[in-house]
Amino acid sequence: MKIMPCPLNGPRNISEFTYGGEFKLMPDPNTCSDAEWADYVFNSNNLAGVVTEWWMHTASSYWFLAERHTVTDQIIRTYDPSERFSQRVEFNLPASREEEVSA
Amino acid sequence: MPFSLLKYGLSSDYPVEVDLPAPTELKPSYDVVIIGGGGHGLAIAYYLAKYHGITNVAVLEKSYLGSGNTARNTAVIRSNYLTSEGVRFYTESVRLFKELSNEFDFNIMYSERGQLTLAHTDATVRAFRQRAEVNKHFGGRTEMIDRQQIRELVPSLNLDPGHLPVLAGLWHIDGATARHDAVAWGYAKQAAKRGVEIHQLTEAQDFVLDGDRVSAIKTNRGTVRCGCVVQAIAGHSSLLLNKLGIRAPIHSYPLQAMVTQPFKPFLDPLVSSSALHCYVQQTSRGEVVFGGGSDPYPLYNTRSTLELKESLLAHAIEMFPFLAQAKLMRQWAGITDMTPDYSPIMGLSPLDNYYLDAGWGTWGFKATPICGKTMAELVASGGQVPELIQPFALERFSRFEQVNEMGATAASH
Ligand SMILES: Cc1cc2nc3c(=O)[nH]c(=O)nc-3n(C[C@H](O)[C@H](O)[C@H](O)COP(=O)(O)OP(=O)(O)OC[C@H]3O[C@@H](n4cnc5c(N)ncnc54)[C@H](O)[C@@H]3O)c2cc1C
């Protein structure tokens, strides 16, 4: 069995985890163009090499980051997202959009 | 044995036919360079030569012909898709497949057995009704059948697997298989006959750009100049796109399959279950082939995993209990480029003379002929995208116009 070292729960069978996609920085949804948003939502580097990605320990719903080699499948490091994020990401709708939503 | 055959076999002037000419040096320049010598790349080369008279063409293949997913797929050919764009495209491919053996004068072992997809929930029954109607409308032959009809069609099938009794089935009369390597060989031989150069052990490694054009391709055997380029490298599309700075919504996942020892013929149609994520078919040699869903996370590695074997076999045995006694002969995987809408990326790229045939995920074998034909038209016309493949443009993602084709997912190929 392949073992994933979970930063919260310790080493676990990889079947306990859900893959959550490449780690990428989100552009500001209120100011970015449609093209930038589409690039963020859909496109990826899909590298053959070491990538940083989101993973979740399914049973505890705990999200974390992992560095993994996509050719050897070696998990190099896993860590808590607090290493990358110091505050919560808020999604405030711009005023004009709020009106559209309530209409 | 007929006497004439014996005489023919012993005669010294048995007509030796060369399949592929011996390897030559790369020329310094070609009108068209096709990267990837799988079924798709070879089909594009063939149709370019046959219908458009374009023969100053090189196909570059880093390994041997068809060594990628063309030689690894489970060879399901069908057109019972969900969207009108998908059904039109794949129906035309099935039509071309039926003619290929004649066209090549070479047997690709096209075998029309029909494909049966099982519905185990009411929601699936409703979805299948829609698929059947869309299919009929666009020229496919698909209908709903009930449990009794399924029992008659596949007597060895367990209609009550575990907690998921079979409620109905989607019966696709056009479902078929063909010998996948033979498809690659047929195209290669016919393309080479018309002057296309096929260079095996030749890897495209990098590009020389001239403004918005690729002027040359760097390979392990030197640099070749090119009028235009078609990229058809299935599971590895992102690796070359990254070199060109082209962003695409592709994630590469392994897809595993396996095959048992041979049995006497017991299963004519291809049978697939959407809820059990498993499809089963018997080859003309009697082996039973199983396929299922992709690995749970992206990887550029074709290692096998015990988890997938276990879950796939458990589901196959629920469908055909006697297979519990079967011996597995072989297990393998290929790398598949998955897109978010389960549809290919075909047509233009952000570069002027670089064309894309990518994002084929787990479903591209059945598209080989139509993909080759339409991509050849695109190249020959200098960038006019044929109508049939317009919906599959890379641009659809930035325009939020995806083709939602869940009918193409791995479990039902
Ligand atoms: C297990 C499995 C089962 C499948 N089952 C089905 C099925 O039942 N039905 C179906 O329709 N589809 C199926 N598919 C999908 C199908 O196999 C592919 O979509 C299809 O074969 C793609 O064809 P291709 O010619 O584009 O790619 P390939 O056959 O993979 O050819 C691409 C070629 O490009 C070469 N290449 C890569 N990089 C370079 C480079 N830099 N330079 C030169 N050459 C390069 C590779 O060596 C390879 O030979 C399955 C796939 C797998 C893995």
DSSP letter at B234 equals: G
Measured CA to CA, the distance from residue B176 to residue B87 in angstroms comes to 15
Give me the DSSP letters along A45-61: ---SSEEEEEEEEGGGT
pLDDT at position A97? 53
Domains identified in chain B and CATH numbers: 114-177+253-335 (3.30.9.10)
Out of A39, A48, A72, closest to residue B247 by CB = A39
pLDDT at position B274? 82
C-alpha distances out from residue B256 to B29, B237, B345, B384, B410, Å: 39, 19, 22, 37, 10
pLDDT at position B152? 97
pLDDT at position B6? 81
Residue B35 in contact with ligand 1 by CB distance below 6 A: yes
Measured CA to CA, the distance from residue B340 to residue B93 in angstroms comes to 23
Measured CA to CA, the distance from residue B337 to residue B217 in angstroms comes to 23
Give me the DSSP letters along A7-54: TTTEEEEGGGEEEEEE--PPP-TTTS-HHHHHHHHH-B---SSEEEEE
Measured CA to CA, the distance from residue B44 to residue B196 in angstroms comes to 11
- Strand order through the sheet with B176-177: B76-77, B176-177, B111-112
The CA-to-CA distance between both ends of chain B, in Å, stands at 41
DSSP letter at B132 equals: H
Q: Pick the range with the lowest mean pLDDT from A44-48, A63-67, A92-96, B77-81.
A: A92-96
Measured CA to CA, the distance from residue B158 to residue B271 in angstroms comes to 12
Q: Pick the range with the lowest mean pLDDT from A88-92, A98-102, B395-399.
A: A98-102
Q: What is the mean pLDDT of residues A47-61?
A: 97
Rg (CA), chain B: 22
Residue B180 in contact with ligand 1 by CB distance below 6 A: no
Neighbours of B251 (CB within 10 A): 23
pLDDT at position B140? 86
Token match 């690659």: residue?
Answer: B184
Give the tens place of pLDDT for each residue, A6-25. Answer: 999 999 999 999 999 999 99
Alpha carbon of A36 to ligand 1 centroid (Å): 31
| Domain boundary assignment for chain A | 3-102
Structure tokens, B375? 């991509």
Out of B242, B296, B307, closest to residue A19 by CB = B296
Alpha-carbon torsion (A9, A12, A18, A22), positive or negative: positive
Enumerate the residues of chain A whose CB falls inside 8 A of the CB of residue B249: 42-44
B204 contact partners, CB below 8 Å, separation of at least 6: B33, B35, B60, B62, B217, B218, B219, B240
Measured CA to CA, the distance from residue B381 to residue B350 in angstroms comes to 17
Most trustworthy range by pLDDT among A30-34, A56-60, B83-87: A56-60
**Among B297, B309, B339, the residue to mutate for chain A (most A Cβ within 10 A):** B297
Fold that domain A3-102 belongs to in CATH: Folate-binding fold (3.30.2270)
Return phi, psi of residue B383, to 5°: 115, 15
Q: Which residue of A has its CA nearest to B306?
A: A1
Yes or no, beta carbons of B250 and A47 under 8 Å apart = no
Enumerate the residues of chain A whose CB falls inside 8 A of the CB of residue B298: 19, 46, 70
The residue among B253, B256, B252, B363 whose CA lies nearest residue B316 is B256
Per-position pLDDT tens, chain B of length 413? 578 778 877 887 777 778 899 999 999 999 999 999 999 999 999 999 999 999 999 999 999 999 999 999 999 999 999 899 999 999 999 999 999 999 999 999 999 999 999 999 999 999 999 999 999 999 889 999 999 999 999 999 999 998 899 999 999 999 999 999 999 999 999 999 999 999 999 999 999 999 999 999 999 999 999 999 999 999 999 999 999 999 999 999 999 999 999 999 999 999 999 888 899 999 999 999 999 989 999 999 999 898 899 999 999 999 999 999 999 999 999 999 999 999 999 999 999 999 999 999 999 999 999 999 999 999 999 999 999 999 999 999 999 999 988 765 544 44
By the 8 A CB rule, do B256 and B366 touch? no
B380 contact partners, CB below 8 Å, separation of at least 6: B48, B51, B52, B54
| Residues forming beta bridges with residue B271, ordered by sequence position | B116, B280
**At B405, is the secondary structure helix, strand, or coil?**
coil
Out of A38, A43, A48, closest to residue B239 by CB = A48
Query: B84-104 and B180-193 helices cross at what angle (nearest 10)?
Result: 70
Yes or no, beta carbons of A34 and B400 under 8 Å apart = yes
Structure tokens, A14? 């990889």
